[in-house]
Structure formats: structure tokens, C-alpha cells
Amino acid sequence: MATLFEPITVGKLKLKNRAVRSATWDGAADSQGVVTDGAVELFRSLGKGGIGLIISGHAFISPLGQGSPNQYGIYSDEMIPGLRRLTDAVHKEGSKIAVQITHCGINSGHLRRQGITCQAVSQLAEIETPHKEMTNAEIEAVIADFVSAARRAVQAGFDAVQLHGAHGFLMSEFLSPFFNRRTDRWGGNPENRRRFHMDVIRQVRKEIGRDFPLFIKLGAWEDMEGGLPLDEGITAAQAMVKEGLDAIELSVGARGASLTAERGAPERVYFRRQSATLKKAVSVPVILVGGIRRLATANDIISSGDADMISMSRPFIRQPDLLVRWQQGESMAKCISCSRCFPSGANILSCGEERRLREEKL
């Protein structure tokens, strides 16, 4: 039975262990989305920690797809040199790195604050954010933007591309029956609602070739009335695998139950049941993210077959060297799930609990 520190091959990508740093917005780009020195040092520290695969914070594929300030951009060839600095830093430390590419759709706080109308799958009276239903030509243009972003990822030296298909961003809006109320070829039934995903995967594959690793972070269900049921999400996942996906990181779609544990609360693995269901249905590796804090839990998830890999974010913010510590005999991450690590403005992520302890000493 496999465990966390055993290698795995995902598509053509060989990884030294089964630990993934889940994509996390770190606010470390400049105002145009260009990589900064601080971003390079952040990723260098993650690479030193021995993580098998590091996934960047989501990089926006077009200006109308940006979701947050100081978010990485991959919308122009001018971004490539900066992104190459990230991949070089991680590779020099012996780890692999993927870029997560995204269009934030209706769920863009950044555009809303600037007074810019968001692109949306459907016009929804329930949503206060100023938005406009996309035309067929606009949808095709966004697909082309995903393809161009994937090309830039290859040119920048990334080891894989991950599509962001969760958390209320554009791809998950297409899949969601709540957000997608179209009656044309892009909506109206499950096959049409997943057409956007299929076209993106098909055209990205044509651009980058069959051997370059392509993943998705998939919002496979939604805990809301009128949302995406898990069985439909799994059917969509199976179709996407046939089209050329190499791995799926499981998450929720446009809306889900609150996932933030109480401060200091014990470990809580959010999606294990859903991951086990998905794992039985697809032929590619499944990555489980959310609430994992102990080495024993990570090993049990993998050895039981509920997932092939485990993904974490906040524990690596608190301890970029967590895997090294686990190999040396520690068993529990120090992260207490307080979620105070997320920055305001353009500050690089740092652990809120550590900041508090330093302030107390002062």
C-alpha cells in the first residue's frame, strides 16, 4: 500500500512524493500580475521543504478574469520571464511546480471594487455584483485565452498546468445548474453545461501536446439548493478524463458549506467521502485537499485508496518545511486553522498565529 513519501507518476510527470501544495493566492505579484522578488523567495522556501508538487496561486488568463489584487498574471507573453523565475527557483530546490490558470468570472471582487462589469455565464437577478451574460463569441475568446495561458506555462518551464474549475470561478459557473441557466449550446442540460470544460481541455491538449501534464481543480458538487449534485459532477469528471486530464484535485463548486474549523480545533478532513467516491469512478490520480493536519491521516487516506495524493495550503504557510519535519519524526502540523494567514493588500502570506506570538514577545 502506498504512503505519502512514496513516489508517483502522474501522466508523464514523476513526483518524489505524494504531497501537493494546493494553489493559494499569496498577493505577491505586482499590480500588473508580474512575479516579484518576494514571490520568488516564497516559492524557493516551498521548494526547500521537499514538497512533491507545488501549485502556484491562480494566475488570471485575461484582465477580465482577474479576481484579486496582486494576483499572478499569465495573460501576456510579457509575463513569461517572471514566471520562469518561479519555476527556476523551485527546480533548483529539487521540487516540481504547476501553474493554476483561471478566469474568475462573476466571482471577481477585484473587478467589482473597480466598478468593472464581470463576465458571467448567465444574467442572474439574485447576484448583486454587476455582471453581463457572455456572448458565444466572448466564450470562444475565453477558451482561446486558456489555450494561450497553457502555452505560456510550457514556455515558462512549469511541469504541469492546472485548470481552476472550482470555488465559484468561471469554469465552475458553467458546470453549476444554479449559475448556468443558458438555453443555448453552453447550458440547459448536463452535457451542455460541461461543454466549456471539454472544449478547454480539448483545445489546450492540442496546443501543449498529449504528454504535458494537465490537471483540474474540480468543484464536483455544491451544498446549495439548485446546485451541482455529486453524481453529475463525477459524470463530468469521467468525461473530462476521456478528453485528456491527467489528475483531479477535488473541491467544491460555486458554493459549499463552511470549511473553516474553529481556531485550535482538531483536524477535520473535509472531502474524504467524496474523494473516495470519485476515486472509484476515474482512472487518473485523485488529489484530496482540505483539513489534513497529521502524517498518520495523510498516510491512511492514501493507503486506503480514498485518494492518491494529499494537498495542503495553510500548513505549508505556517511550516514550509513541514514534510521535512514529518520525515524527522514530528506527526502533527502546527497550523491551527485560524485563517489569519491571508493577506490584505499586497502582503505575502505569513502565519497569523506566528505574527501574534511575535507581537506578544515584543
270-316: pLDDT as tens digits: 999 999 999 999 999 999 999 999 999 999 999 999 999 999 999 99
DSSP SS3 for 118: strand
Check pLDDT > 90 for residue 360.
Answer: no
Range 24-46 average pLDDT: 96
pTM listed for this prediction: 0.95
Q: Which of 79-88, 229-238, 258-267 has the lowest mean pLDDT?
A: 258-267
Q: How far is CA 136 from CA 142, 166, 205, 303, in A?
A: 10, 22, 22, 45
Q: Quote the pLDDT of residue 255.
A: 65
- Cα–Cα nearest to 91, from 156, 11, 27: 156
303-339: pLDDT as tens digits: 999 999 999 999 999 999 999 999 999 999 999 888 8
- The CB-side HSE value for 90 (13 A sphere, CA atoms) comes to 25
Q: Quote the pLDDT of residue 261.
A: 47
- Cα–Cα nearest to 257, from 280, 273, 276, 239: 273
Q: Quote the pLDDT of residue 266.
A: 66
Q: How far is CA 337 from CA 263, 272, 285, 288, 329, in A?
A: 6, 18, 27, 17, 22
Is the distance from CB of 346 to CB of 27 less than 8 angstroms? Answer: yes
Rounded to the nearest integer, the mean pLDDT of the chain is: 93
Query: Where in the chain are the domains?
Result: 8-361
Q: What is the CATH number of domain 8-361?
A: 3.20.20.70
Range 71-94 average pLDDT: 98
Q: Quote the pLDDT of residue 339.
A: 81
17-31: pLDDT as tens digits: 999 999 999 999 999
Cell numbers representing residue 314 in the block: 495553510
Cell numbers representing residue 98 in the block: 504547476
Q: How far is CA 21 from CA 99, 186, 248, in A?
A: 11, 33, 14
